[in-house]
Each structure stands twice: as structure tokens, then as C-alpha cells.
Amino acid sequence: MLQIKSKTALVTGANSGIGLELTKKLLKNGWQVAALIRSDFPEEDLELQERIRLKDIRIYRCDLSDFKQLKLALRQIKEKEPKLDALFNNAGGSFAELSFSPQGRELHYEIQTVVPFIITMEFLDLLKRGNPAIVIQTSTNAFKFKQSFVPEELAKPEKFQKLIGPYATSKLAVTLWTYALAPELKQENVTLISIDPGNNNTMRKGRNGGLPLIIQPFIQLFGPHPSTGADRLYAGLKISPDQAGVYISNKKPASFKFKQHAATVLSQVKTIYENEYISR
């Protein structure tokens, strides 16, 4: 196992978009990064490649939607990382059509609601060794447009809409279970929060199908660089444990709807974790 004196953050989706800029921000501020990713860091970024060589970035690979791959990757991390001071459940995105994970659940929900819970639970021991320990979920403000929320439809939605459909509901769901679980984990000195990084321009050639066509030009012209979102996530490291469960939007605590469903969503992801991940 590595002997690490500096702080370590685990970042999912660390190799592109906001996750990549967050990784750079962490490194610049003296952190080391355990990167849970599916594809490579940019080869043309020689500084990042050097930090990989020096093991300031340690790469663990898997498709987060596949529990078999996820279990192997998380086991490797637990074997090699002595502690985690922060966990950024950042991976995800807005997909172009209704898709399902290998486990049979809607893909946004699996990656952006269920998997962050699994990762958080699996790394509790590593987080308890951190100083201090914080889990930051990448949320959104897109769910403010939701007029209804039915937890029972998260895994198998009846209809699909870009951005404000499963993407928004899955981000709302992770914010809800974070809110519900935060008081419990606060007793174990682990702070849970969720942050909306804003509407950053993370569009990439051939990878913009999840955004409605009417929004794409606006994002291209006016959307800030992903470093803006990364700065907002990084700022979450300063959140006090007294604010556990908070949702940050526009750089300040914000209210959100459907809190009455928080316990239900938490129960759902906990059941999936216990019945499909731990027991298999």
C-alpha cells in the first residue's frame, strides 16, 4: 500500500470536462488524485502525463455502469489507497436516448444515483481515515424545472426527455439521498453535500446528443469553461460538517423540491447495494 502524506481525492470521470479541470485544480493545490475513469487522460497534456508517471495521479479503470467492473476497480482502490480525504462523485452526463445498464436500470439513474451510493459506502473506511472527510456529489439545477417526481419510475422511466428527463431526475435523486444520509454519516465524521457546477461548456465533438438542439448554441457561445464548474466543486471542500446534506447552487446553499421523497430514494439505492452489489 502507498505511503501518502498529502491529501488524496478520488474523482470519478476525472479525465474529461469538469472532472479533468477539477483534477488539475486539486493537483495545483497540493492534492493527489485517485482517478476512477473509463478512458484515458489527454495524451497531449504533458504535465498531466508527468503527474501520472510520478503517481500523483493514480488511475483505476472501469465502466461505472457495470457492477462487475465496478467491484473489481473498487477492490483495487481499497487495496492500494491508504486513505481518502475527499470523494467527488462526478462522473456522468446527459445521454441522447433511453438506455439501460447491464443490471437493467436506466443509465442516468445507475451512473448518477446508484453508483455514487455504492462508491460512498464502499469507501467509508478510507474516508474515515481522511482529515477531514467529505463526499461531494455533482448535481445540477436542471431539476428545478421538474413538476413531479416519482421515485418508483427512476429505474424504468415511461418516457424520455433530453436534459430535463432522466438526467435531471437522477441528479435530483442523488441530491435527495445525500440529504437523507448526511445526518447519519456526520456521526462518523464524513460530510456529504451536493453541488451544482453550473451550465459549463463541456460539449465535445460527437458527444453532445444529450443536450436539446435549442440549447447547444447557447452553451457553445455563452457556457463558461469547465474550470468554472471545477472551481465550484473544489470550493465545496471548505464546507463545514455543520452543513452536511446541503445542496449548493450558484455558490450558495439552495432549496430544492421533493424532500419528502428523500428517505424513499435512500431506501431504494440501499436495497440495490445490499441485494445486487454486496451479495454477488
User: Average per-residue pLDDT in the chain?
Assistant: 92
What is the per-residue pLDDT across 216-263, written as a single tens digit (0 to 9) for each?
A: 554 555 556 799 999 999 999 999 999 999 999 999 999 999 999 999
Could you report the per-residue pLDDT of 8-46, keeping only the tens digit for each?
Answer: 999 999 999 999 999 999 999 999 999 999 999 999 999
Q: What is the number of structural domains in the chain?
A: 1
Q: Is residue 63 part of a domain?
A: yes
CATH code of 213's domain: 3.40.50.720
Is 13 within a domain? Answer: yes
Residue 58, strand partner residues:
34
**Assigned domain for 45 exists:** yes
143 in a domain, yes or no?
yes
Q: For the purposes of burial, counting CB atoms within 10 Å of the CB of 219, is it exposed (0-12), middle (13-18) or buried (19 or more)?
A: middle
Question: Which domain range does residue 202 map to?
Answer: 8-278
Given a cut of 70, is residue 3 above it in pLDDT? no
Handedness of CA 108, 276, 136, 81 (dihedral sign): negative
DSSP label at residue 120: H
Q: Residue 150: how many CA atoms within 13 Å on its side-chain side?
A: 8
Instruction: Flag whether 1 is in a domain.
Output: no
Q: Per-residue pLDDT averaged across 36-62, rounded?
A: 97
pLDDT digit string (tens) for 71-96? 999 999 999 999 999 999 999 988 98
In a domain, 2, yes or no: no
| pTM, rounded to two decimals | 0.92
The predicted-structure confidence for 139-164, as pLDDT tens digits, reads as follows 999 999 899 999 999 999 989 998 88
CA atoms within 13 A on the CB side of 142: 23
Copy the grid coordinates of residue 89. 462523485
Reported confidence tier of residue 58, pLDDT bands at 50, 70, 90: very high
Tell me the C-alpha distance between 44 and 115, whole Å.
30
